[in-house]
């Protein structure tokens, strides 16, 4: 059930946000079916706004709709992650560079609070909360760059990158290392050292991909062994 009806938003918008959050947070698993009747029961909303919300999610690339009408959450492939890695490596270090030079005081305070809470969640091993905070941290950097075109490009990739980030944060040992890298990036931004922030963000993204690649290779090798 949608806890509180927001009269400033259409039912379609509210259902879209409800499903979007559940998908990008991993509460609905990749490949899992989305059943209109079930969503209607969960939200208390009729099927028509749900169908419209699903069309938007399909346009975002978050779900796939079969010709027979079945709906499943997008399941990213290794190639998808590779392409997203290439995009992140091109865009996010640049965002970090300009955020270090342009971040205003309001966003500086907000980011400081996010970093403090991320460190707390690492100590608590609260991965679900950490996924949300990590996404906020990266997106605040993009916003802090002050570049509307960079923000527009990252907005288009935001949902799919959330799948990538969720997968990486589930890898053992990446949790602590990633937190240390976030802290280093934040310190460079605080010091207004654009070049350091850019290089640290580049290394952070490369490490994410290295961990994911190692995990994927391990899964692939196990599958090969089982088939032999």
- CA gap 110, 58 in Å, rounded: 32
Instruction: Label residues 22-48 b or e (16+ Cβ within 10 Å = b).
Output: ebbebebeeeeebebeebbebbebeee
CATH number of the domain where residue 121 is located: 1.20.120.530
- CA gap 45, 27 in Å, rounded: 20
* Burial zone of 186 (CB within 10 Å; 0-12 exposed, 13-18 middle, 19+ buried): buried
The pLDDT assigned to 218 comes to 53
**What is the residue range of 51's domain?**
11-73
The pLDDT assigned to 8 comes to 63
- CA gap 145, 159 in Å, rounded: 20
Do 170 and 66 reside in the same domain of the chain? no
Q: What is the pTM of this model?
A: 0.79
The pLDDT assigned to 213 comes to 83
Tokens 């796939």, located at residue: 64
The pLDDT assigned to 217 comes to 67
Q: What is the dihedral of CA 145, 151, 157, 160, to 10 degrees?
A: 60
Task: Please report whether residue 5 resides in a domain.
Answer: no
The pLDDT assigned to 197 comes to 98
The rounded average pLDDT for each run of 10 residues, N- to C-terminus, in the chain (228 residues) is 60 92 84 93 92 92 86 88 92 98 94 94 88 90 96 88 76 82 96 98 94 68 40
The pLDDT assigned to 6 comes to 58
Residue where a domain stops, chosen among 73, 103, 119: 73
Task: Please report whether residue 4 resides in a domain.
Answer: no
């Amino acid at each position: 059930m949608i806890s509180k009806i927001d009269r400033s938003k259409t039912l379609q918008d509210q259902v879209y946000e409800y499903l979007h959050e559940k998908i990008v947070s991993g509460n609905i698993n990749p490949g899992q079916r989305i059943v209109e009747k079930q969503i209607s029961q969960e939200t208390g909303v009729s099927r028509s706004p749900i169908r419209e919300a699903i069309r938007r999610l399909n346009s975002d690339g978050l779900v796939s709709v079969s010709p027979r009408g079945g709906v499943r959450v997008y399941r990213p492939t290794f190639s998808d992650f590779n392409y997203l890695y290439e995009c992140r490596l091109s865009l996010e270090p640049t965002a970090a560079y300009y955020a270090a030079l342009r971040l205003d005081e309001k966003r500086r305070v907000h980011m400081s609070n996010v970093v403090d809470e991320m460190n707390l969640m690492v100590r608590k091993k609260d991965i679900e909360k950490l996924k949300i905070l990590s996404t906020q941290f990266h997106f605040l950097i993009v916003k802090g760059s002050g570049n509307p075109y960079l923000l527009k490009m990252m907005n288009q990739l935001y949902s799919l990158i959330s799948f990538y980030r969720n997968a990486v944060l589930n890898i053992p040992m990446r949790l602590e290392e990633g937190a240390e890298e976030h802290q280093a990036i934040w310190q460079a931004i605080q010091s207004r050292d654009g070049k350091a922030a850019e290089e640290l963000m580049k290394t952070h993204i490369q490490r994410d991909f290295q961990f994911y690649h190692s995990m994927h290779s391990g899964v692939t090798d196990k599958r090969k062994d089982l088939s032999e």
